[in-house]
Amino acid sequence: MQSNLHLSGCILFIALLLGFAGQAGAQESKETKKPADVIIKADGSILYGKVIELNADNIRYLRAEMPDGPIVAIPRKDIYAISYTNQTYEVLTPASGKSKNSKSETAIPLGQPPAQPLTEPDSLSTDWKNNIGNGAIKAGMGFSRQYSSLKGVDDFTKTPSAPSLYVGYNFKFNKNIKLGASLGVAGFKYAYDYFSEYDQIGIKQDITEKVATLGAFARYDITGGIFKLYVLGGIDLNFNFVDINGEIYFKDDNKKVASHSEGRGFNSDFIARGGSEISLGRNFGLYSDIGLGKSLVQVGVVFSLSKK
């Protein structure tokens, strides 16, 4: 890390020297050579010219040896820094889309329109590969049953067999919105026990249901920083597997009739949740949310894959 900072400082220092040298050379021979902006690329190579436009996607400039055109465009992510002829410089950070400047947040070279401040885009991101690779993994557990494909079990005793488990992945879509997908599993038990005094017949039934869920969602971060508040919405596709064991017994005859059956089901449900996330370190945090979904309340941990 220190070596990278040292290298960056050296490159920037060289750029400033080149800029000053170019300006000094121009003063000695203004009629033969005009001062030029110095563009330092991320691979260490250096270009000379006049920067016409700097935006979130690219840099457009005129080459020093061809001041009348054509205009050349270079992807912003390929540029490390720019040293302008008015003795200002700008360090670009392509990964995050932000800039730093020695005198102000955005350099404003003399005789040129102000460079546009570079902030994270509010619209569709253009760097999908980078965004997806720098997302966050969430793993947690939920409490309180919500969705089931079974019908006609109103008279049954219902209990979760264990807390539902959840794993999800989300990545930045733009400044406030994240997109993600999730997997979840849950299990529920249903029990029914009825005895008729008139017929002296008893009925017992035990149902075990397992649910596997595949979901897709969009999340909106209301606040940023260490403590985030968010809301999310999406859809869950639930795959249900049911195992049913039944028994009918006749008390007077002391007889029993047992039965067993299995079933499969599928349903889909919309999810709507609100929650909070707190960062406890550079790549680790905790979260909790509540609402419609695989569970009423959910808590867990967050692991960020971002190297920033």
- CATH number of the domain encompassing residue 217: 2.40.160.20
Comparison of pLDDT for 32 and 55, the residue scoring more: 55
**Which strand ranges, in their side-by-side order, compose the sheet holding 46-54?**
71-75, 58-63, 46-54, 37-41, 79-83, 89-93, 98-101
Q: Which residue has the tokens 């909070």?
A: 276
For residue 117, being part of any structural domain is answered with no
Q: Which CATH number characterizes residue 40's domain?
A: 2.30.30
Q: Considering Cα of 288, then 290, then 292, then 298, what sign does the dihedral take? A: positive
Query: For residue 97, is pLDDT > 80?
Result: no
Q: Tell me which of 101, 120, 140 is where a domain ends.
A: 101
Whole-number pLDDT of residue 265: 83
> Cα separation of 171 and 37, whole Å?
37
Q: What are 281-298's pLDDT values in tens digits?
A: 888 999 999 988 767 889
Same domain, 184 and 234: yes
Percent of the chain's residues with pLDDT above 70: 75
For residue 123, being part of any structural domain is answered with no
Same domain, 69 and 198: no
- Yes or no: say if 222 and 230 are a contact pair by the CB < 8 Å rule: yes
- Identify the burial level of 106 via C-beta atoms within 10 angstroms of its C-beta, where 0-12 means exposed, 13-18 middle and 19 or more buried: middle
Whole-number pLDDT of residue 113: 44
> Cα separation of 58 and 76, whole Å?
4
Give me the long-range contacts of 127-134 (CB less than 8 A, separation at least 24): 127/77, 130/95, 131/171, 131/172, 131/173, 132/171, 133/171, 133/305, 134/171, 134/172, 134/304, 134/305, 134/306, 134/307, 134/308
Model confidence at 98, in pLDDT bands (50, 70, 90)? very low
Whole-number pLDDT of residue 277: 95
Domain tally, the chain: 2
Report the pLDDT averaged over residues 182-208. Answer: 87
Whole-number pLDDT of residue 89: 77
Q: What are 210-231's pLDDT values in tens digits?
A: 889 999 999 999 998 899 999 9
Query: For residue 306, is pLDDT > 50?
Result: yes
Query: For residue 93, is pLDDT > 70?
Result: no
For residue 162, being part of any structural domain is answered with yes
Same domain, 149 and 296: yes
Tokens representing 66 are: 């061809």
Q: Which residue has the tokens 């392509």?
A: 94
Same domain, 87 and 27: yes
Q: Which residue has the tokens 């005859």?
A: 253
For residue 168, being part of any structural domain is answered with yes
For residue 107, being part of any structural domain is answered with no
Q: Which residue has the tokens 């005129």?
A: 62
For residue 137, being part of any structural domain is answered with yes
For residue 119, being part of any structural domain is answered with no
Model confidence at 123, in pLDDT bands (50, 70, 90)? very low
Model confidence at 144, in pLDDT bands (50, 70, 90)? low
Q: Which of 38-47, 80-89, 146-155, 198-207 has the lowest mean pLDDT?
A: 146-155
> Cα separation of 109 and 35, whole Å?
12
Same domain, 42 and 158: no
Same domain, 138 and 73: no
Range of the domain at 33: 2-101
Same domain, 220 and 148: yes
DSSP state of 78: G
Same domain, 47 and 147: no
> Cα separation of 168 and 140, whole Å?
9
Whole-number pLDDT of residue 182: 93
For residue 114, being part of any structural domain is answered with no
Query: For residue 163, is pLDDT > 60?
Result: yes
Q: State the Cα angle at 32 between 26 and 37, rounded to 5°.
A: 45
pTM of the model: 0.55
Model confidence at 147, in pLDDT bands (50, 70, 90)? low
Q: What are 235-271's pLDDT values in tens digits?
A: 999 888 899 999 988 877 778 888 898 988 888 888 9
Tokens representing 65 are: 């040896």
Closest CA to 279 of 229, 225, 230: 225
Q: Which residue has the tokens 């990964």?
A: 95
Closest CA to 48 of 33, 60, 64, 34: 64
Whole-number pLDDT of residue 294: 66
Which helix (H) or strand (E) segment is 21 a member of? Answer: helix 2-28
Same domain, 95 and 147: no
Whole-number pLDDT of residue 3: 46
**Residue 257 one-letter amino acid:** V
Same domain, 83 and 179: no
- Yes or no: say if 278 and 300 are a contact pair by the CB < 8 Å rule: no
> Cα separation of 260 and 117, whole Å?
68
Q: Tell me which of 83, 101, 119 is where a domain ends.
A: 101
Whole-number pLDDT of residue 301: 96
| 259: three-class secondary structure by DSSP | strand
Same domain, 142 and 182: yes
Same domain, 133 and 261: yes
